[in-house]
Amino acid sequence: MKIYNTLSKRKEEFVPLEPGKVKMYVCGPTVYNLIHIGNARPMIVFDTVRRYMEYKGYEVNYVSNFTDVDDKIIKKANEEGVEASVISKRFIEECKKDMAAMNVRPATKHPLATEEIAGMLEMIQTLLDKNHAYVAEDGTVYFRTRSFKEYGKLSHKNLDDLQGGNRALLVSGEDQKEDPLDFVLWKPKKEGEPYWDSAWCKGRPGWHIECSVMSKKYLGDEIDIHAGGEDLVFPHHENEIAQSEAANGKPFAKYWMHNAFLNIDNKKMSKSLGNFFTVRDIAEKYDLQVLRFFMLSAHYRSQLNFSAELMEAAKNGLERIVTSVKNLKYLLENAQQETLTPEEEALLKEADGLREKYEAAMEDDFNTADAISAVFELVKLANTNAGADSSKAFLETLLEEIRTLTDILGLIVDKEEEILDADIEALIADRQAARKAKDFAKADAIRDELLAKGIILEDTREGVKWKRA
Ligand code: AMP
Ligand code: ZN
């Protein structure tokens, strides 16, 4: 399996640190608003990477954070006159609903920045002890960028170029810094901001430190894959590498994967240009499976342009697969023949070839566009050859094949496979029992499990109500 590594700018063979296991960290959203369709791209892309890895038999430990302390969250909280945590909790819940509706599976762990402050204080102290950081007069702690000799290796920037003319690349220029390249690890609180005690000042972390700490805590010092959108390469991921490698004295992530941007009508998405869509906006018009199909119809490292025409094309493409599955199921219910004919055997060999084609595409740096083409060929083979006189074995194998290959892409093409009402009621009863027993972790786990299946619970005065996303 080949993965394009931003670090080496080449496709490299994937060799996990530990055989059979993948440790993967994906930078998650800052939660101050409903997520937009740009944020949805890394979620869908890396969820698909995870699914493919699992299909290949790897055990994937997938960690993705929510940044729940940040200027934008604080600003919104102050506007509404509530605590920052009210805003972040609200939008984490909303984000989880969108993820479920896009069939993005919950991570193994979704850590929150505000719950990992102790680990951040510890790593900052280690960086101070190792002389990779210093405390300014007002208590701000800065990372001493030049002390990390490999700084710039991910974004392929040269330190002196950064220092020189190109001011746009400077990481802001507070005057207490020893060097304009240094970046904040910890900063003093301002009026009306949440803060934590520390040895240096009452304050809060800089943005980059949380990912270094959460990745270390939940996956270990060295991980296989670190991922996010391409805008994160510099400075965020560059700074994460500097912090982690300077503190741990070990290489951080082996493979760095970055998705390209999603634009709208060939322009950068922006509220002021009026070309801005939340995932919720799209859900008003389309099943979010269509959005997922649209995202995967391009390679993740290609820029993708969102337009009404492309969404319609995605809708039609997905429907073609759904209709084919429906048809195969109908034929299977009515099939008389049990065993394969020699002709069918030959066709199934052809189908095997298409699965190989699909796998080859996925193993070439997750080329989902080509993988989808292989699925379409399979659908065509089914549509042209399956009929009233087909054998059960033939129809079953084709159905299974289409289901497996679309499931890896996280596409639901067979609605009847969804969770039944009775199962939902049973899980809700389990959750109520767990809550009664004050086992809130279990109660939350059940709620998340249901959410992952597209079931949203609402605790009302009349009891628990549920609906499908
Ligand atoms: P943020 O909340 O801005 O940190 O973004 C969360 C994730 O969404 C990051 O991985 C970003 O790189 C990614 N992202 C933001 N905007 C876009 C976009 N227009 N296209 C693709 N990815 C994006
Ligand atoms: Zn991050």
206-252 pLDDT per residue, tens: 999 999 999 999 999 999 999 999 999 999 999 999 999 999 999 99
Specify the pLDDT at position 426: 83
Q: What is the pLDDT of residues 37-62, one digit of tens each?
A: 999 999 999 999 999 999 999 999 99
Distance CA 349, CA 342 (A): 11
What residues are in contact with ligand 1 under a 6 Å CB criterion? 27, 29-30, 38-39, 41-42, 228-229, 231-232, 259, 261-262, 269
Residue 168 has pLDDT above 70, yes or no: no
How far is CA 53 from its chain centroid? 14
Contact 326, 386 (CB under 8 A): no
- Determine which residue's CA is closest to atom 8 belonging to ligand 1: 39
- Determine which residue's CA is closest to atom 21 belonging to ligand 1: 261
Q: What is the pLDDT of residues 83-121, one digit of tens each?
A: 999 999 999 999 999 999 999 999 999 999 999 999 999
Q: Which amino acid is at 245?
A: E
- pLDDT mean over 315-332: 96
Specify the pLDDT at position 271: 75
User: How many CB atoms are located within 10 Å of the residue 26 CB?
Assistant: 23
287-301, 388-402, 452-466: least confidently modelled range: 452-466
Q: Is 89 left (phi over 0), alpha (psi -120 to 50) or beta?
A: alpha
Specify the pLDDT at position 50: 98
Specify the pLDDT at position 421: 72
Distance CA 447, CA 453 (A): 10
Specify the pLDDT at position 419: 63
How far is CA 58 from its chain centroid? 18
Distance CA 71, CA 48 (A): 31
391 — pLDDT class (breaks 50, 70, 90): very high
Distance CA 79, CA 72 (A): 11
- pLDDT mean over 3-8: 98
Which of 41, 275, 279 is the best mutation target for the ligand 1 pocket, counting ligand atoms within 8 Å of the beta carbon and taking the most?
41
Model's pTM, two decimal places? 0.89
- Determine which residue's CA is closest to atom 17 belonging to ligand 1: 38
429 C-alpha to ligand 1 centroid (Å): 38
Specify the pLDDT at position 275: 85
379 C-alpha to ligand 2 centroid (Å): 39
Token pair in block for residue 343: 């002709």
Specify the pLDDT at position 173: 47
405 C-alpha to ligand 1 centroid (Å): 27
Q: Mean pLDDT over all residues of the chain?
A: 93
Cβ neighbors of 195 (< 8 A, separation 6 or more) are: 189, 202, 203, 204
Q: What is the pLDDT of residues 9-27, one digit of tens each?
A: 999 999 999 999 999 999 9
> Measured in Å, how far apart are the chain's first and last C-alpha atoms?
35
Distance CA 304, CA 288 (A): 17
Percentage of the chain surpassing pLDDT 70?
Answer: 97
Specify the pLDDT at position 161: 79
Specify the pLDDT at position 64: 98
* Nearest bound ligand to the CA of residue 238: 2
Q: Are strands 21-26 and 223-229 parallel, antiparallel or unpaired?
A: parallel
418 — pLDDT class (breaks 50, 70, 90): low
- Determine which residue's CA is closest to atom 1 belonging to ligand 1: 29
Cβ neighbors of 375 (< 8 A, separation 6 or more) are: 321, 358, 402, 405, 406, 409
Spatial CA neighbour of 260 closest among 230, 294, 296: 230
Q: Which amino acid is at 48?
A: T
Beta bridge partners of 16: none
DSSP 67: B
Contact 37, 279 (CB under 8 A): yes
Run of H or E including 442: helix 440-452
176 — pLDDT class (breaks 50, 70, 90): confident
